[in-house]
Amino acid sequence: MGDMANSSIEFHPKPQQQREVPHVGGFGCTLAELRSLMELRGAEALQKIQEAYGDVSGLCRRLKTSPTEGLADNTNDLEKRRQIYGQNFIPPKQPKTFLQLVWEALQDVTLIILEVAAIVSLGLSFYAPPGEESEACGNVSGGAEDEGEAEAGWIEGAAILLSVICVVLVTAFNDWSKEKQFRGLQSRIEQEQKFTVIRNGQLLQVPVAALVVGDIAQVKYGDLLPADGVLIQGNDLKIDESSLTGESDHVRKSADKDPMLLSGTHVMEGSGRMVVTAVGVNSQTGIIFTLLGAGGEEEEKKDKKGKQQDGAMDSSQTRAKKQDGAVAMEMQPLKSAEGGEMEEREKKKANVPKKEKSVLQGKLTKLAVQIGKAGLVMSAITVIILVLYFVIETFVVDGRVWLAECTPVYVQYFVKFFIIGVTVLVVAVPEGLPLAVTISLAYSVKKMMKDNNLVRHLDACETMGNATAICSDKTGTLTTNRMTVVQSYLGDTHYKEIPAPSALTPKILDLLVHAISINSAYTTKILPPEKEGALPRQVGNKTECALLGFILDLKRDFQPVREQIPEDQLYKVYTFNSVRKSMSTVIRMPDGGFRLFSKGASEILLKKCTNILNSNGELRGFRPRDRDDMVKKIIEPMACDGLRTICIAYRDFSAIQEPDWDNENEVVGDLTCIAVVGIEDPVRPEVPEAIRKCQRAGITVRMVTGDNINTARAIAAKCGIIQPGEDFLCLEGKEFNRRIRNEKGEIEQERLDKVWPKLRVLARSSPTDKHTLVKGIIDSTTGEQRQVVAVTGDGTNDGPALKKADVGFAMGIAGTDVAKEASDIILTDDNFTSIVKAVMWGRNVYDSISKFLQFQLTVNVVAVIVAFTGACITQDSPLKAVQMLWVNLIMDTFASLALATEPPTESLLLRKPYGRDKPLISRTMMKNILGHAVYQLTIIFTLLFVGELFFDIDSGRNAPLHSPPSEHYTIIFNTFVMMQLFNEINARKIHGERNVFDGIFSNPIFCTIVLGTFGIQIVIVQFGGKPFSCSPLSTEQWLWCLFVGVGELVWGQVIATIPTSQLKCLKEAGHGPGKDEMTDEELAEGEEEIDHAERELRRGQILWFRGLNRIQTQVCWDGKKMLRTTEVG
């Protein structure tokens, strides 16, 4: 990095460099030259280009590319460029290896305690007490122990270690596969990103990774630039460079003032062509990423060194500024006014996780901590009771003395007690919870891909289940986005269908064809259909496609007009943006004059028209009165049919005096109206049903569109967003703003709260209106719970609203890169019905976790109580450590797999959304947990105390240390596991449904796991022997165990009969973190009120600053070294 930082100091090339020297591979520029060129901005950059290459086309010549034809599509040439200048690919951070994940899984505290206990137990089992004095140590090793058994003492320790290894491997494997899935998802998102380049004079869409230095790329509104380049030709190009510089104002780019385009910046307006000069790790974004990659390790070192480094950094910065004016100049504009506070905030934010925990994770963490604490207390009490009991019985009751040679024997007892205590803890702590969430989310995300939802942030999937409001775009989401002109007003006549070309005056027809062909992006075109009988393919902006289609319907063609006036001959272009709501293009006429063509929303453009063409194609005055007439008779009826109206106009300028093109209002005024057309975008056939489902599920759908209010209302009624007879509001953007702002023009939440609950349609809205609405609904405190809002968007201007929303959906087909970047989920088919699928999956995640909790907690309660009481009454847990670990494994790992992969059903959409603060464990679930616990405890204690009489076998109670496993305790263990297996089937329903088998075969994973667990259980009991403390059971005993297990299902029906409403005493558990529990960091965040959108942007800036600081420090160190050497000299 040092050389790069230094290279930026020597801007002014030495004169002798002017001669073209053949560089590497026959290209006229080296990588270093291009890299240093891309660090300059504005006038400096232009100066450098002029000095080194003459002009941009000189640069193109050196890179062996043509500004108009692009590169020859020749694989060898492209490969050679990749080798010399690098690929357009930034290598991702190394994923964690499997071993690293295993190491992380081993960090679990409970597992560490178990490992220690197991190792101590192992060590002691190999120590045999000397001689036969063990009689003196009490009835320690009396009983049925022979030589062979004594040697088997090590088995328990080994078995515990083995099961720990099992748990660790399973956890690590899960993390590893999650990581792998996520990387697959990332690469899929990256592959889908394409960019338009010119090769061999043809426009091609190539994957971003395939761009090479020297490519000529087309940039247009909404693009996220994938590489650095120099602008060759641009129309009204404005770039948002805030992700790199932190400057929120859009930067105007033009070939003669500031031609430098940087990767990672967004095109906000206009279009143009650029020559790619730096890709991948050599582009501006790449350089920052490399710094970060290298930065990761540096950061860690820095943290260790502590604060001293910071001081050095600051002083070095100031020194850098003094030391070298050039560098300071270079760095200064990028540092932006917020630089200092940024660093401060960044320090604060380094401690705060990047994205706040999702609601579910918050609730679960809290619950897991509570359960863990309870488990810890129980296990401590268990150990204390066991130790006291043993000490009192041995030394007080039997009156023995502690003999030195007996110490190992006693220690062995204490270790056994300790192991029992740890086992209680292990069973109590639900370490399967995080696993269940991960599995459930990962599984849902994978399946959602099939439902056309590409999830970018895992937690978005679960948040979607809580959604209470959806603010949807109209175009493309609710409608098909295949625009067609169906009505028109030409030459004083309103045509309800496409007019015959013969019915129109040639002059009007000719003007119309030129106005549409020239005044639309040349990248927009209509191509022949791919399959026979299909519709023609629309490429580019859909509204423009409709107009071009109109020309084709009039039996004319737009291509010859475009060939006659190619794009680079357009004199001036005012591109479409959300403020203008119109687009205008100026061409030079043969007589030296100019003609301006304009098209845009009819109510905006008609205000600028002073003439209109009559049926003979002659001008006639168009006064405000005529305009009102036209709005009433033509435009409103079109809008009421759900059509979008577009006005097409022109204006001629004489050759004598050229107007001031920058004074746009002056230029685009005094127009002559050629035509008004009505464009229809039919509603997607499946949308009304989808919206009905949303409304039934308690989700309000609102439509936010740029169309006029009549069109919007017509479409909303067709979709079912507004129903006749309902009390609702349809507002235009202006009216909406008037209602929510006070006299000073500030937005007031109280005013907003009066508007949004009834608002269903917001028409003629600007992007800021959309953001205001979303923010207003989210911040509102009127309802009993906070609203969870989903938003759909496709345009660059939707970015802020998508970021602000709880879940942002971007359109995969029509969406711009900026929108996709800001979103949480990408709809790969742009269809509203996919959002309903997302809601279903989101609710399903929530339910899966609840099912798992219901199952898990029942087992926890029972196992802890059994181990605890058993230990207190019989000095030995009826469930041995290894058995507990097996139960823990089936409970946690397998059950989370089985219950977290239940597919969603339509019935999920029949209930209202859970609130953000609804507890995880509802009353019904609490009833189930306690009810089943009562059944299981009754059975197990009956077996423990009178089981030997019932089965006519030896009692397993009070067995000495290392005695062989008893049938009695094996039956208890087996019954326990059988009850869990059948209770797992009960756990499939959490809302008190009767039929627990409903849809069980639609989940093969569940069936496999239940049967698999059953199979392994048979093996453990019959052949587990000493390690599992099991002794083989007879068929009759097995049948009894099974009978008791099936009893769980019957008992489940009994519990379902008890009405929950009667059980007022049951508490709910697992609420979200309360208001008062906000951490200091969150409060600090609250004060600054940085929302996600800003935070994301800031992240970009911060990376940039860090990069710059590193470079500066580098420069300083180099400077210091030089100073030192001179001093020494």
Exposed / middle / buried, residue 563 (Cβ in 10 Å: 0-12, 13-18, 19+): exposed
Three-state DSSP class for 145? coil
CA atoms of 242 and 1105, how far apart (whole Å): 12
CB atoms near residue 388 (< 10 Å): 10
Phi then psi dihedrals of residue 358, to 5 deg: -70, 165
CA atoms of 212 and 220, how far apart (whole Å): 19
CA atoms of 257 and 509, how far apart (whole Å): 39
**Which residue is it, tokens 């970047």?**
821
Q: Any idea what DSSP says for residue 907?
A: G
CA atoms of 287 and 244, how far apart (whole Å): 12
Three-state DSSP class for 487? strand
CA atoms of 637 and 382, how far apart (whole Å): 82
Cβ-contact 478, 719 below 8 angstroms: yes
Number of helices (H), then strands (E), in the chain: 41, 26
CA atoms of 134 and 246, how far apart (whole Å): 79
Cβ-contact 172, 163 below 8 angstroms: no
CA atoms of 448 and 464, how far apart (whole Å): 12
CA atoms of 786 and 239, how far apart (whole Å): 36
CA atoms of 275 and 212, how far apart (whole Å): 10
| C-beta pairs of 21-28 under 8 Å, 24+ apart in sequence | 24/84, 25/80, 25/83, 25/84, 26/64, 27/62, 27/63, 27/64, 27/81, 27/84, 27/214, 28/61, 28/62, 28/63, 28/64
Cβ-contact 509, 556 below 8 angstroms: yes
Exposed / middle / buried, residue 1118 (Cβ in 10 Å: 0-12, 13-18, 19+): middle
- Report the Cα–Cα distance between both ends of the chain, in Å, rounded: 27
Catalytic-role residue among 459, 473, 769, 794: 473
Sheet holding 807-811, edge to edge: 453-455, 825-827, 807-811, 789-793, 469-472, 700-704, 759-763, 729-732
CA atoms of 1042 and 359, how far apart (whole Å): 40
Cβ-contact 729, 712 below 8 angstroms: no
CA 698 from chain center: how many Å? 24
Active site residue 473: yes
Exposed / middle / buried, residue 921 (Cβ in 10 Å: 0-12, 13-18, 19+): buried
CA atoms of 1045 and 282, how far apart (whole Å): 65
CA atoms of 830 and 834, how far apart (whole Å): 8
Exposed / middle / buried, residue 207 (Cβ in 10 Å: 0-12, 13-18, 19+): middle
CA atoms of 240 and 261, how far apart (whole Å): 10
Among 92, 90, 87, 91, which Cα is nearest to 210's?
87
Q: How many residues does the chain have?
A: 1129
Cβ-contact 929, 939 below 8 angstroms: no
Phi then psi dihedrals of residue 231, to 5 deg: -70, 130
Active site residues: 473
